[in-house]
Structures are given as structure tokens and as C-alpha cells.
A and B are shown apart, each in its own frame.
Chain A
């Protein structure tokens, strides 16, 4: 429907990216410098509705299967690009359903990408196959949120840590045992725990076992998916500190996925914020937290409860809920909730009148008020004064079709329900969809106030 107007603008990469099948992506040579460990370019992962989340997990799955365009597709990750430098921690933060976990898994090819490329140390992962891919995979590891379920309770700690080494044919039995014990010590466990079973361990200790297992094959890059969110704060701090020490000692690069902004602020060098399958902002940590330039990031930051009662300023409350990733909003995906949605240019609206029109439009769409006479609507939403000109006429028309009186609770009254829908459609078509926020996909590179790294913000306020 409204996707036609979308312009494709890509953040990190200058390369033109063809919407091609995997076999063609090798044509674009990666320009990665020595320092770039991972580069993700135009990466998308769609799920076919109904086939379930795990439909794509199988590793032998045909790559880029033909997609039946008639089916509903969940655009879990949609055209995402970024890079990660050696030794750095890139924090990836977002709320549930934003696609951050899917992105992590797709990068490791635990899920097949629908589109786009992943370059690991300059090599396109799509170009390598079978055994070679398995070797590459030993250089890229993952640790998951739930340390309980990711450790096989029947195995001993030593076996668990050695398992990836066995799978990759690393060392002989004695060498593996030695290395496992060394790693147990490195992650802060007693090497004597080698013969214990995981059930004897606390949540924090199990996450350490996971770390040791991930490290066993000597990876360069680790995707950490909510690694400390199941832990109590005091234990969380222990594990975070250990992860930082290990990073330094083993020269690791982390993609650290979390929903907790405090953890992200602590652990990351740079931070990417994800919303509904897109990266909406990416900047140095300090820059992102102190000088956020995307209204969604701002809303996130204002929502976190700060552990200091003297700082309970205004709580930023975001309206509404995340739309469905099956049919995401055109242009800027945040526009249906954005408190700063830009006024359409074709009307002559003052800031004040636009703010009122915007809240009225959303209140009608979400039906948050009870039917009331036109006069009261004008008073409550517009201070008694409708916007001037055409905009005002449209608003007046919308008010007109709204039911003016509350229906009795047992009455089904189809006409009044139609009135809401009609008013909603009229307002959305006349205002929301005319905004630049709906017509073009935003992507802007800004100058950073903190640090020197580029500050990417997907918001037309920076146009």
C-alpha cells in the first residue's frame, strides 16, 4: 500500500547493493580494512508467517529459497548495515520483537539471511560453504541468555567446555582437557569443577561455563545474546567484569545484544538502537547516551527508571504499541508513535496546531476517548480553534463523521464504528501519510558531539 514512496538510503556503505541472490554478492569486493572484523551490509531476514520461527534454523537449508510473494512475511530484520572493529564491543539494544536476536543469529548464519551480505574479516560468508563455513564458525561464537537451558544437564562441565573443540577436531583428548581447565580458571571457576554437572552451579557460574565453552575454539568474535539478563544485579556485575577481562586478554570482539540500556551503556564502545527490524541510530556510546538524535532513542532513554530518586524528572511516555513487522509503516518505522512526527508540507500549520492535530489523529486512531459532541472535541483537542485552511477543513470533516454520543453498552451500532474508521482513514491519509516521515526512509550521518565516530540517525528531523 504505502510502501511505494520509500527511498532506499543506506547508512554505512557506499557500495550500491543489488537486490541479488547469493551467487552474485561475491561481485562486490569488501573494502574492509584490517581493523574491521565484521561488516554487515543490507542484511535482511524475513520469516514466512506460519512456518514458525525455527523454520530457517536448519544449517543445510537451501540458501535463499524462492520466496512466495503471496505469503505474509515477517520482516524481522530489514536492510541493516554496520561494521564492528577488532577488539570493540558493539551494543545492540532494542525492545522485544525489534529483531536484535534474529540479527545476531543471522550474522552467525544460524539463520539464513533473506538478503544482504555478511563479511567476516573481509570474506563474504555467503561465498564459503560446508567445511570451510564450519571452520569460520569456530572463529565466531555465541552465548545465549538462559544459562540453564543451554547447558546439557547430562554432561559434565569438562565435556561441555570441550564439546566445540571436539566438533572442530581441535587438539587431542589430553590437550582438550588441559585447555578446558585453563579456561575454567580464566572465566573465574575452579578447574576442579571439571567433573561436576551443571545443576550444581548457580546462574552466574553457568554463564561462566558458557563463556569457557565459547572461548574453547579460540574465536575472534562472540555474539552475546542477553548474556546477563537472567542474573541478579550483584551477579550480573561479576559476569560483566569477567567478560571485559576476557575481551582484553583474548582480544575478543563482541556484538552485545541486550534490552537493558544500563548494561549496554556499561559494556559497549558503540551502540546501535534497533526498532522494528531497522537500526534507527548508531553512535559512540557516550554520544548516543548524552546526545541522542533519534526520537525513539530519546524515548527509550527517558523511559528507563534511574536508580536515583532525585532524578525522577519527566518520564518520557511513548504512546501506542509496536506495529506488526508483517506490514511495517512506510518511510520511518517509528512514525506511528513518534512524538515528533513532522508536519506534512502541503498544509500551512503552526507547530502548535500541528501538535494538536497529531494528538487528535492518534486519539481517534486508538479510540482513546469516548464519543462526545463536536464542540467538546474542538475544546479538548484544539483549545477551541481548529487549524486554519485546508487542514482545519479536514479536521472538521473528521469530527463530523465521529459518533457524537456514546452508544449503549449492549448496542452493536455498526454506523458509529464506521464513523471511527472513516475519521481515522481520513486523518491518516491527509496527515500521517503526507509527512516526509511516511514518504522517505530516513538515513543521516551527523557530526558527533562526543568522540569522533560518525553518528548515524535515521530521522528526517536532520534533513
Chain B
């Protein structure tokens, strides 16, 4: 298999607030390959938007990427190494802010946000903004850029583009503005588009139009997408592979068919069971108990254990990382759940937990005594997969010389 377009490894993004450290993204790894639409799905607070914004280093103070590696076409967007004093510092080969801005953003990786008004300037015409963008990024003279802008507007389905070229953003409907943003994103023919809930604010028929458009454009330009959404329907509709996030972590990663039809993580299962369906009448919904806790003080062991219907005693103590539990379609199917054999954590022998009474239940300390993942996975995995209740992970230490990574 060829190298992935984008590779994210053990990414951690944290926010340093008065109340404490919010571990918004806590060690996620995933890839996007050429021509793929990869989903990053989760409920609010799962960390999916922070994760996607980290990819272009768009995290603002008090947030910071504190660990991990992001590579795009072999270039290092983010990477740390240990300095002579054992301190973490940015790697030599990491792209500078300037390089990210001029070489990557727009040209190579474009972003489409949920609210197009945030990306469009209300006092300039749609056409003017698009033309200028093309002029700047593609080095075209004004006339040619205008022609290209009109062509792009037509391409994304804006009716009467010559006329609408001269109109202002507020004269466009939400769906039309989102089309303009897609036109802008495509204008520089990027290889990857990060789409952060781009259809969430739209009506369902407009959403349908946009999804159709994305399909067509993707066929034509072979652009890859990282599609960030909370909507499992949209995921099923357009994604090739999916990453499910819960409380800062990727808990399941699979090709789309496996995710829905051979689900391996109890959170994904619970999410699917809690949804009303458009295609059939569901007698009773099965909600997930409780609410997602805050990322400032995540539960010990498996972060889903206070709400998990399959939780056992061991789940309070052992923190599962996402491991390959099956293989499908040439891709790994990963899940971060101790019930799978590869974890060898003593799940089967462990007594079930009563989910309802759990939230306040005291967790016995010193959780390492029974079982614990060892064996074939070796010591490195052990270090990562067991985090003591409340203990700060050692690799989350913040280094001081990294202030300049932010704009």
C-alpha cells in the first residue's frame, strides 16, 4: 500500500485553563489515504473539532499540541523530539508557520467550516473574494482569475454565476454559501479537504445537494476528505473509513461497512442504538446512560466505563488503547475495548459493574494488581494502556519553548 497522504500519530492537544488541563485530544492516531473520505465522528465534547484543527496547527491559546506527530506527504506538520536535557522540543524538519501558511494551507489542505459566514467577509462580493483567493494562490492575472472564479461557482452549482458573482454573502442562502466555500476550497486543487460539520446547519434537502456535489467533485478531482461530523447518517452515506471519538480518544476505527455491521466498541453500538431511524420505526430508543464527562478529569481506566452497558470491574482500572481486533477490506478494524481477546486483561473473569450506580462509586486504587495487559504486547503498550486514576501521563508534559507555533 502506498504511503498515506496524512498520518497522525498519538496526537495530544490540551487546553491549559484555570480549572485545570483539558485533555481535549488525548493520543489519537489515524490516517487519510489518497482519494478517501475518512470520517471523524463523535458527540459534542468528544474532541473531534480540536483534532481536526490541530492538523493545520490552528489551535489557539490556551490550547496547545503537546505530543504526537502529524505528517503530510512526508512533510512534518508537527513533531517533537527529546532535547539534550531530556526536554521535548520541535523537530528540525517541522514546517514553520510561514511554510504551513504558504505551502500547505489552501494549496494542499483546505478547510471548510460549519458556518460559512465565518469564512466569508460580509463587506466584499462573493466573486471578488473568490477571485482574489485564486489570484493569490494560483498566480493568475485578474481577468483569468475572474473567469476561473465564475467557472468554479458554476462547477459547485451556483445558478446564474455571472450575475451572482457580484452579490454579497448575505444575499446567498446557507446552502449557497456553503457551495461558495467548497468552490474556494477546491479553487487551489488541494489534495485534502478538512470539512468540519459542513452540512450540520443546512436543511436536509440542501445537505443532500451538498453531499451529492462532494461525491461528484471527489470523483472528478480525487480529493481526499477528512469529514468531521456528529451525524452517523452522513458518515454512512459518504465515508470510506471512520474514526469514532469519545472523550478525546478514538475508540473505534474501521471501514464504514464494518463499523455499522460488525461494530466492535460498546460506545459505537450504544450510539447506533440510541438513534431514531429515518428508514424504519423503532419501538423504543435505548439511550446511553448519563452524560459524557468533562475532558478535564476523565474517568479512570476505560473512559466509557461509567456509561458502558458491558463494563466490568477491570474496566475501571485498565485503560485500553485502540488495538486491531479484526481486519477487513485491507484495513485494520481497531477498538479500544477490553472485552476483546487481544487485550488479555482478564475481562471475562472480571465481575460486571452496575452502570447506574457507578458514577460516584469509589475506584479502588492500585489497579495494576490483577491481570493487566502484558504478554505479547510488550512493555511499551503497557505503559500507554494503563493510566492510574487521576495520574497525569508523563508524555503530556508541556515544553516551554514552543510558544511560537501559534499565530
Contact = CB atoms under 8 A, between A and B. Distances in A.
Contact of A266 (B146, B175, B281, B286): B281
A237 B146 contact: no
Interface in A301-356: 301-312, 315-318, 320-321
Contact of A234 (B160, B161, B287): B287
Interface stretch (A255-263, A438-446, A451-459): A255-263
Given A233-B271, A303-B205, A306-B236, A241 B281 contact: no
A367 B161 contact: yes
A300 interface: yes
Interface string B220-241: 0000000000111111111000
A433 interface: no
B279 A306 contact: yes
B287 A235 contact: yes
Interface in A398-438: 409-410, 417, 420
A387 B90 CA distance: 69
Interface residues of A, number: 52
B157 A318 contact: no
The listed residue with most A CB atoms (<10 A of its CB), out of B163, B204, B261, is: B204
Contact of B233 (A237, A240, A306): A306
A367 B160 contact: yes
Contact of B286 (A237, A261, A304): A237
Contacts of B232: 233, 307
A317 B209 contact: yes
Contacts of A299: 205
B176 interface: yes
Contacts of A303: 204-205, 207-208
Q: Which of B147, B162, B207, B284 has the most A CB atoms < 10 Å from its CB?
A: B162
Interface in B369-393: none
A232 B272 CA distance: 12
Nearest to A97: B203
B285 A315 contact: no
A316 B260 contact: no
Nearest to B151: A370
Interface string B124-166: 0000000000000000000100110010001001011111000
A241 B275 CA distance: 12
A122 to B, nearest CB: 32
Interface string A279-308: 000000110010000000001111111111
A304 B199 CA distance: 12
B43 interface: yes
A97 B256 CA distance: 34
B274 A236 contact: yes
A285 B230 CA distance: 26
B282 interface: yes
A309 B256 contact: yes
A95 B202 CA distance: 9
Contact of B261 (A235, A237, A310, A410): A310
Contacts of A410: 143, 146
B360 interface: no
Contacts of B171: none
B275 A262 contact: yes
A265 B283 CA distance: 10
Contacts of A69: none
A196 interface: no
Contact of A305 (B163, B233, B291): B233
A116 interface: no
Interface residues of B, number: 56
Interface string B243-287: 000000000000011001100000000111011111101101111
Contacts of A307: 232-233, 235-236, 260, 272, 275, 277
Contact of B277 (A262, A367, A370): A262
A291 to B, nearest CB: 13
B288 interface: yes
Interface string A203-216: 01000000000000
Contacts, number: 154
B204 A261 contact: yes
B161 A409 contact: no
B247 to A, nearest CB: 13
A234 B270 contact: yes
A305 B235 CA distance: 8
B22 interface: no
Nearest to B291: A202
B278 A304 contact: yes
Interface string A48-79: 00000000000000000000000000000000
Contact of A240 (B173, B206, B209, B276): B276
Residue among A263, A289, A308, A315 having the largest count of chain B Cβ atoms under 10 Å:
A308
A20 interface: no
Most A Cβ at <10 Å: residue of B163, B231, B279: B279
B275 A311 contact: no
A238 interface: yes
A305 B207 contact: yes
B211 interface: yes
Given A305-B236, A316-B208, A265 B43 contact: no
A304 B204 contact: yes
A315 B211 contact: yes
A260 B284 CA distance: 17
Given A95-B204, A305-B237, A315 B212 contact: yes
B142 to A, nearest CB: 9
A376 interface: no
A235 B291 contact: yes
Given A309-B257, A315-B208, A241 B284 contact: yes
A195 interface: no
A368 interface: yes
B277 A233 contact: no
B252 to A, nearest CB: 15
A96 interface: yes
B287 A366 contact: no
A233 B275 contact: yes
B205 A305 contact: no
Contacts of B204: 95, 259, 261, 300, 303-304
A136 B175 CA distance: 41
Contacts of A241: 284-285, 287
B236 A367 contact: no
A392 to B, nearest CB: 25
Given A232-B230, A233-B230, A367 B237 contact: no
24 contacts: A95-B204, A233-B275, A234-B287, A237-B276, A238-B287, A259-B203, A262-B276, A266-B281, A266-B282, A285-B281, A304-B208, A305-B208, A305-B238, A307-B236, A307-B275, A309-B237, A309-B261, A310-B257, A315-B208, A315-B212, A318-B205, A321-B176, A367-B162, A368-B154
Given A300-B204, A409-B143, 17 more contacts: A96-B203, A204-B291, A234-B270, A235-B291, A237-B285, A237-B287, A240-B285, A259-B204, A266-B282, A267-B276, A304-B208, A307-B233, A307-B236, A307-B277, A317-B205, A366-B159, A368-B160
Interface of B: 43-44, 143, 146-147, 150, 154, 157, 159-163, 173, 175-176, 203-209, 211-212, 230-238, 256-257, 260-261, 270-272, 274-279, 281-282, 284-288, 291-292
